[in-house]
A and B are shown apart, each in its own frame.
Chain A
C-alpha cells in the first residue's frame, strides 16, 4: 500500500480510524481517563530534558560532568550530533532517579571505577585529563587484550565490564533519543510499503 493510500485510509492521521469502522463507535463511547499510560493519553515528553534550568535529579555535579565527558567520547559528534548534544547524561540521570538502589549503586560503581583508574594512572579525575589521556584510558578499558594462554580466549577484565555497562547505558540513551533515531536513518514515516523479502534466485541470497 502506498503512503497516500494510507493517508486516505486514515492510517497516518490517527483519530480518523474510527470513522472508517462503524463498529468502533461503541468502543469510542467510553472515556477511561486515568487508566491510560502517558503515551496512550498522547503525552509527548521529547522536549522535557531540554527544559531551561535543568538540574540533575540523582547525579551530583561531578558525576554528571564526568558522564557528559565520557558519553561524548563514546559517541562523539561526527557529521551527525553525538551523545552530548543528545543530552544523554540528562536521560540517564532521569532513569537512575527512578531506579532501584541496586541499579543506582551499580551505575555509580561503574562510573567510580573510571575515575579510580584515572586517579591511579594520572593522579587526576577523568574529566580533568587531557583528551589524549582520556583516550588512552578508554582504549585500555575497551580493548583489554589479555589473552588466556590456556584457552586462547580473552580473559575476564573487570575494567572492561565496568566500561561496557556504562557504554550500554549511553548507547540506549543515545539511540533512543530523537537525535539517535535520526542517526540511524529513520525518515520519520511509520510505513514504508509492504515487506518485500528475498527476491533472489536460489544460491544468490545476500
Chain B
C-alpha cells in the first residue's frame, strides 16, 4: 500500500467538483475544471475502454454471424434498433435486461445508450452543426414556446473552443440558418453529390454542403488524420473521430487533478439540508453492488439528458419532495428528440462509375440546412420550424438486383448509383412529453427507473410529410429515377438526440436551470448536458451541448475563483 492510504482513497476526499458521466459533455466539464486546477472526481457508470478492443478493421466474415447475429436481440432488443449496435461492439451498449424503463403501451420510445467510458461519443454519428440565433430566438419569431435565455453570440467563443479542439471538417457556406465555424478542410463530394448541389442551387436556391463532422482531415492535437476505413462506430485506432476517452477525459486525467471512478452507477445527489447545498453523490458499484459515497463542493450532472433528470428525480428530500431542484415542477418535462422518417431514395442512371470495394470509405455524408420558415423564406402554412437533411450519393453494389444465377452475380458487381436523403426535424418542446420515476420498476442496481411518455405531434407529422415531398423534388431535379418517398414518423428516440427535461431559463418558476446550467434551487448543483436545451432546433445537438458545457464550466471556475462555491 502506498504512503498515505487515506489521502489517496477517493471516497475520503472532498472534491471541488463531482462530474457524473464521461461522454461528450462530462469529458469537457472534467477537462475544463481539472485543467483550471480544481480537484475533480469523474464518475462513469460503465467500465474503461481500451483501443485493443477496436474492431474497425475486422472483416464481417471473421464474426460468427457476420454481423447478422440474432443472439444480440436476447440481451439488447432495444439497443439493436440503433444502426451502430452491431455484432462487433454490442457490449458497449447497455444490456436492456439490466437497464429497464417503461412507456405507456401506445407510446413507444426507444432509448439507445452506452454505459462505458466515453458513453455514446464512442459510437456517435459525428455530425457537428452550430445552432443559429433563429433557433435560440425561435419563440420570438413564431410565437411557440420559449426563447433560450442565451443568444448565439453568447455561445460563439465556446463553439470556437470546442471546434478547434475537437477538429470539425466542413465547408463554410454563409447560410443564415447554419453558422460557419472553425473548420478543418472539407471532405470531398462524390460526382452525384456535386450534381445534386448544382441542380438544387439552380432550381431551389437551397444549399447542399458536405457534412460537418468531428473527423480529422489532417493531423490535429496529437491525433492522426482519418484513414478512410469507414466504420467509426467500432472504434478508431488513429483516434481520428472525436470520442471523449482519448481526448477530453485523457486531458483531465493528465492534469493530475482528476480522479476517474469507473463502474460507479450514481443513484442520487446528497444534500446538506442546513445549507441547501449538494455535498456529494451516492453510487452503487456496478460489479460488487456496494453502495458508496463521494463528497464534493459542487455536483455536475452530465449523464445524458434523461439520466441526469432521473438522478435528480431520485434525489428527493423533505425540502424537494417532487425531485431535487424541482421547485418549478418543470423537471422531467419538455422532452424532445428530433423527428425522423421523412426523405427519399433513388438512382442516378446517368452516373456510370461502378462500385469499388477498394474505394476509400468517407465517414461522412452531405447536409442540406433548413430552408423552411427561415428569415428569407415565406412562412409555411402547414407547420412551424423546419428540418435539415443528411444524405449521400454514390455507387453501391446492387444486392437487390433481380433474377438469379450468373446474370444476378454480374448485376451485383455492376452496381447501382444510389442517392438518398433523410430529414431531421425540429421536435417541439411540449409539457406533455416527459419522464417520471416508475415506482414499480428498478434497474439491476436497485435504482428506480424511468417511465418515458413521449409522442411526436401534428407539427412533426407535417414536417415529415413535407420532407418526403421536398426530397423527392430535389432528387428529381438531380435526374434521379426509381424515387421512393418516405414520409412516415419514426417512434421517438430513433434520432438518438434526446434533449430537454431540465430546461434552462431566466424564470425559476418555469425552468430548472439558470443560463449557466446551475439549478435555480441549489447553488452548487449543475446539469451540463442536453437536458438543458430549451428547444431542439433541427441540427444534430452534440456540438452545441459541448459548447454549453464549456461555457457553464468556465463560469463555475470563475465562481470558484471568487470563492462563491
Q: Point out residues on A near B: beta carbons under 8 Å.
A: 1, 6, 9-12, 14-15, 17-18, 21, 23-24, 26-32, 35-41, 43-46, 48, 73-76, 78, 82, 91, 94-95, 98-100, 103, 138, 142-143, 167, 171-173, 175-178, 180-181, 183-187, 189-198, 200, 202, 205-206
Closest 6 CB pairs of A and B: A197-B188, A23-B250, A205-B191, A40-B53, A176-B66, A186-B357
Q: Which of A28, A43, A176 makes the CB contact (< 8 A) with B52? A: A28
Of all chain A residues, the one with the shortest Cβ separation from B351 is A206
Q: Which of B70, B117, B237, B239 makes the CB contact (< 8 A) with A95? A: B70
Residues of the A chain whose Cβ atoms lie less than 8 Å from the Cβ of B404? 73-75, 138, 142, 167
Q: Check A196 against B360 for contact (C-beta < 8 Å).
A: yes
Q: Check B50 against A192 for contact (C-beta < 8 Å).
A: no
Query: How far is A71 from B29 in the complex, measured between Cα atoms in Å?
Result: 55
Q: Check B60 against A176 for contact (C-beta < 8 Å).
A: yes
Of all chain B residues, the one with the shortest Cβ separation from A185 is B357
Query: How far is A28 from B53 in the complex, measured between Cα atoms in Å?
Result: 10
Query: How far is A200 from B54 in the complex, measured between Cα atoms in Å?
Result: 37
B254 CB-CB contact with A under 8 Å: yes
Q: Check A76 against B64 for contact (C-beta < 8 Å).
A: no
Of all chain A residues, the one with the shortest Cβ separation from B73 is A100
Of all chain A residues, the one with the shortest Cβ separation from B52 is A15
Interface centre among A18, A27, A178, A184 (most CB of B within 10 A): A27
B190 CB-CB contact with A under 8 Å: yes
Per DSSP, chain B at the interface is: loop
Shortest CB–CB separation between residue A83 and chain B, in angstroms?
10
Q: Check A23 against B397 for contact (C-beta < 8 Å).
A: no
Interface string of B41-78 (1 = CB under 8 A from A): 00000011111111111111111111111110100000
Q: Check B353 against A206 for contact (C-beta < 8 Å).
A: yes
B322 CB-CB contact with A under 8 Å: no
7 of the cross-chain contacts (CB-CB < 8 Å) are A32-B48, A48-B64, A74-B405, A74-B408, A95-B68, A171-B412, A198-B190
Query: How far is A35 from B45 in the complex, measured between Cα atoms in Å?
Result: 14
Q: Which of A10, A26, A184, A193 makes the CB contact (< 8 A) with B413? A: A184
Residues of the A chain whose Cβ atoms lie less than 8 Å from the Cβ of B449? none
B87 CB-CB contact with A under 8 Å: yes
Query: How far is A86 from B357 in the complex, measured between Cα atoms in Å?
Result: 19
B182 CB-CB contact with A under 8 Å: no
Contacts A35-B47, A186-B357 hold; do A27 and B117 have CB atoms under 8 A apart? yes
Query: How far is A94 from B60 in the complex, measured between Cα atoms in Å?
Result: 15
B469 CB-CB contact with A under 8 Å: no
Of all chain A residues, the one with the shortest Cβ separation from B397 is A184
B124 CB-CB contact with A under 8 Å: no
Q: Check B87 against A37 for contact (C-beta < 8 Å).
A: yes
Q: Which of B59, B228, B246 makes the CB contact (< 8 A) with A21? A: B246
B187 CB-CB contact with A under 8 Å: yes
Shortest CB–CB separation between residue B253 and chain A, in angstroms?
5
Of all chain B residues, the one with the shortest Cβ separation from A82 is B409
Shortest CB–CB separation between residue B408 and chain A, in angstroms?
7
Query: How far is A141 from B68 in the complex, measured between Cα atoms in Å?
Result: 26
Q: Point out residues on B near A: beta carbons under 8 Å.
A: 47-71, 73, 87-91, 117, 187-195, 198, 222-229, 237-239, 245-246, 250-251, 253-254, 262, 350-353, 355-362, 397, 399, 402-406, 408-409, 412-413
Contacts A44-B62, A78-B409 hold; do A11 and B238 have CB atoms under 8 A apart? yes
Q: Check A45 against B62 for contact (C-beta < 8 Å).
A: yes
Residues of the B chain whose Cβ atoms lie less than 8 Å from the Cβ of A178? 59, 61
Query: How far is A44 from B251 in the complex, measured between Cα atoms in Å?
Result: 34
Q: Check B65 against A98 for contact (C-beta < 8 Å).
A: yes
Q: Check B89 against A37 for contact (C-beta < 8 Å).
A: yes
Contacts A1-B225, A46-B62 hold; do A18 and B250 have CB atoms under 8 A apart? no
Shortest CB–CB separation between residue B297 and chain A, in angstroms?
25
Interface centre among A1, A39, A177, A184 (most CB of B within 10 A): A39
Q: Check B88 against A23 for contact (C-beta < 8 Å).
A: no
Q: Check A38 against B51 for contact (C-beta < 8 Å).
A: no
Query: How far is A205 from B419 in the complex, measured between Cα atoms in Å?
Result: 14
Residues of the B chain whose Cβ atoms lie less than 8 Å from the Cβ of A172? 66, 68
Q: Check A181 against B60 for contact (C-beta < 8 Å).
A: yes
Contacts A194-B360, A197-B190, A200-B191 hold; do A40 and B91 have CB atoms under 8 A apart? yes
Residues of the B chain whose Cβ atoms lie less than 8 Å from the Cβ of A167? 404
Query: How far is A45 from B71 in the complex, measured between Cα atoms in Å?
Result: 15
Query: How far is A73 from B404 in the complex, measured between Cα atoms in Å?
Result: 7
Query: How far is A1 from B254 in the complex, measured between Cα atoms in Å?
Result: 30
Residues of the B chain whose Cβ atoms lie less than 8 Å from the Cβ of A78? 406, 409
Shortest CB–CB separation between residue A151 and chain B, in angstroms?
17
Q: Which of A38, A73, A175, A206 makes the CB contact (< 8 A) with B64? A: A38
Query: How far is A15 from B188 in the complex, measured between Cα atoms in Å?
Result: 31
Residues of the B chain whose Cβ atoms lie less than 8 Å from the Cβ of A82? 409
Extra A-B contacts (18), CB below 8 Å, given A45-B62, A95-B69: A1-B225, A17-B51, A17-B238, A28-B51, A30-B48, A30-B50, A35-B91, A38-B64, A143-B402, A143-B403, A171-B399, A175-B412, A181-B357, A193-B360, A195-B187, A195-B361, A197-B190, A200-B191
Residues of the A chain whose Cβ atoms lie less than 8 Å from the Cβ of B70? 95, 98-100, 103
Query: How far is A197 from B56 in the complex, measured between Cα atoms in Å?
Result: 22
Q: Check B228 against A191 for contact (C-beta < 8 Å).
A: yes
Residues of the A chain whose Cβ atoms lie less than 8 Å from the Cβ of B56? 190
Query: How far is A200 from B57 in the complex, measured between Cα atoms in Å?
Result: 31
